[in-house]
Copies of this chain bind each other. A is one copy, B any other.
Amino acid sequence: MISIKEVAKAAGVSTSTVSRVINNSPSISQSTKDKVWAVIKKLNYSPNNIAKALITNKSYTIALLIDVDDDKSFQNPFFYEVIHGIEKSCQEKEFSLMVANVNTKMKKQDIISWLVKSKRAEGIVLPVSILTRELVKELKDMGIPFVAVGEVDSIQDNVSWVDIDNKKGTEKAVYYLYEQGLKDIAFIGYDSTKDFSKRRVEGFKSAIEKIGISNNDSWIISCNNSKEQGYKEMMKLIDSGKMPQAVICGNDSLSVGVIKAIQDKDLKIPEDISVISFDSRQIASLMYPEVTTVDVDVFEMGYQSAKMLFDLIENNNLTDQGLLISTKIIKRNTTK
Q: What CA separation (Å) do A83 and B98 show in the bound complex?
A: 12
Q: What CA separation (Å) do A113 and B1 show in the bound complex?
A: 12
Q: Given contacts A97-B98, A100-B96, A101-B88, is CB(A119)–CB(B49) below 8 Å?
A: yes
Q: How far is the CB of A30 from chain B (nearest CB, A)?
A: 25
Task: Report B-chain residues with C-beta under 8 Å of the C-beta of A101.
Answer: 84, 87-88, 91
Q: Given contacts A50-B120, A119-B49, is CB(A256)–CB(B286) below 8 Å?
A: yes
Choose among B59, B61, B80, B118 the residue that contacts A79 (Cβ–Cβ < 8 A): B80
The answer to whether A80 touches B84 (Cβ under 8 A) is no
The answer to whether A87 touches B100 (Cβ under 8 A) is yes
Task: Report B-chain residues with C-beta under 8 Å of the C-beta of A6.
Answer: none
Q: Which residue in chain B gives the minimum CB-CB distance to A101? A: B87
Task: Report B-chain residues with C-beta under 8 Å of the C-beta of A282.
Answer: 76, 283
Interface residues of A in 249-269 (CB under 8 A from B): 253, 256, 260
Task: Report B-chain residues with C-beta under 8 Å of the C-beta of A53.
Answer: 50
A336 at the interface (CB under 8 A from B): no
Task: Report B-chain residues with C-beta under 8 Å of the C-beta of A256.
Answer: 286-288
Q: Which residue in chain B gives the minimum CB-CB distance to A46? A: B117
Q: Given contacts A97-B98, A97-B100, A98-B97, is CB(A1)–CB(B286) below 8 Å?
A: no
Copies of this chain in the oligomer: 2
A12 at the interface (CB under 8 A from B): no
Q: Given contacts A120-B50, A286-B256, is CB(A83)–CB(B84) below 8 Å?
A: no
Q: What CA separation (Å) do A282 and B75 show in the bound complex?
A: 10
A167 at the interface (CB under 8 A from B): no
Q: What CA separation (Å) do A256 and B284 show in the bound complex?
A: 12
Interface residues of A in 75-107 (CB under 8 A from B): 76-77, 79-81, 83-84, 87-88, 91, 96-101
Q: What CA separation (Å) do A101 and B120 show in the bound complex?
A: 22
Task: Report B-chain residues with C-beta under 8 Å of the C-beta of A287.
Answer: 256
A13 at the interface (CB under 8 A from B): no
A227 at the interface (CB under 8 A from B): yes
Q: Given contacts A84-B68, A98-B97, A100-B97, is CB(A117)–CB(B1) below 8 Å?
A: yes
Task: Report B-chain residues with C-beta under 8 Å of the C-beta of A48.
Answer: 54, 117-118, 120
Task: Report B-chain residues with C-beta under 8 Å of the C-beta of A283.
Answer: 282-283, 286
A51 at the interface (CB under 8 A from B): yes
A76-B77, A97-B98 given; name 16 further pairs at CB < 8 Å: A46-B114, A46-B117, A48-B118, A49-B120, A50-B119, A54-B54, A66-B83, A66-B84, A68-B84, A83-B99, A87-B99, A87-B101, A96-B115, A256-B286, A282-B283, A283-B283
Q: List 14 A-B contacts (CB under 8 A).
A: A46-B114, A46-B117, A46-B118, A48-B117, A49-B120, A50-B50, A50-B53, A50-B119, A76-B282, A83-B99, A87-B101, A96-B115, A97-B100, A227-B288
